Amino acid sequence: MDEISFDDFLKVDIRVGKVLRAEPYPEARKPAIKMWIDFGDEIGERKTSAQVTAHYSPETLVGKQVMAVVNFPPRQIGRFMSEVLVLGLPDDNGDIRLIGPDGPVPLGGRMH
């Protein structure tokens, strides 16, 4: 595993946001869900898509606090422009479970 410096780590801006809206993304190559996430006043609302359909439906995502990298450049995912990368971990089957705080925290809080 390559080591990075603490300064390298600080370059990755990971923030907490709340899913405001979510909808299926049937045009994606693999099943996915489109999400619009509020990261508070400093960053605002950003959108993304994620392959999380094994554990989540659009309805269960709305209101959920999630962690995301907010300083990657936007990336075209099919016909949808993804602006952040939500973070998750694979379960025993390789299906993603999203990472978020275990209790409510202010939107836009930076991970450290």
Per-residue model confidence as pLDDT tens digits over 79-100: 899 999 999 999 999 999 999 9
* Residue 28 confidence (pLDDT) above 90: no
pTM for this one?
Answer: 0.94
pLDDT of residue 112: 87
Question: Which alpha helices (H) appear in the chain, and where do they start and end?
Answer: 6-11, 40-43, 58-61
CA distance 59 to 55: 12
Q: Per DSSP, what are the bridge partners of residue 45?
A: 38
Give yes or no for a contact between 53 and 4, defined as CB atoms under 8 angstroms apart.
no
Average pLDDT on 52-73 reads 98
Mean pLDDT, the chain, integer = 96
Q: Rounded to the nearest 5 degrees, what angle is found at the Cα of 84, between the Cα atoms of 80 and 87?
A: 115
pLDDT of residue 78: 86
Q: Which sequence spans correspond to the domains of the chain?
A: 13-98
* Measured CA distances, 55 to 9, 81, 90 (Å): 29, 23, 11
The CATH topology of domain 13-98 is OB fold (Dihydrolipoamide Acetyltransferase, E2P) (2.40.50)
* Residue 36 confidence (pLDDT) above 90: yes
Which of 105, 104, 61, 103 has its CA nearest to residue 86?
A: 61
Reported confidence tier of residue 62, pLDDT bands at 50, 70, 90? very high
Reported confidence tier of residue 17, pLDDT bands at 50, 70, 90? very high
